[in-house]
Amino acid sequence: MTTEELIQQVNEILIEGFEVEPDLLRPEASLVDDLGLDSLDGVDIVVAMEKAFGCRIEEAEARAMRTLKDIYDSVERLVADLGERGKS
């Protein structure tokens, strides 16, 4: 999966499941202030990402996410880790 494909999939989850307006989806967008997501959304976004990408986002990492780019980066790294583990 390319970075672009991953970003597109994350964005689709946020648009379809969490009513985020597509034109707000910029990497630097604040999850709370710009996208209007709250703590309840946060819990479900973590589970939605985990189901979509087959990874596990630890609670501390999830709590540290502030921007959309934080989600992209975390998911990309966790997916890459999975790939590495799959090879070993």
CA separation for the pair 87, 31 (Å, rounded)? 34
Residue 58 backbone class (left: φ over 0; alpha: ψ -120 to 50; beta: rest): beta
Q: Is 21 in the site for other proteins (CB under 8 A)?
A: no
| Cα distance between residue 70 and residue 28, in whole Å | 9
By C-beta, is 39 or 88 nearer to other proteins?
39
Of 3 and 33, which has the nearer Cβ to other proteins? 33
50 touches 57 (CB < 8 A):
yes
The single residue among 21, 33, 44, 81 that binds other proteins, judged by CB under 8 A, is 44
**Sole window of 25-33, 42-50, 65-73, 74-82 interacting with other proteins (rule: CB under 8 A):** 42-50
Residue nearer to other proteins on the CB measure, 24 or 43: 43
Residue 60 binds to other proteins (criterion: CB under 8 A): no
Q: Distance (Å, rounded) from C-alpha 77 to C-alpha 81?
A: 6
Interface residue list for other proteins (CB under 8 A): 16-19, 39-44, 47, 50
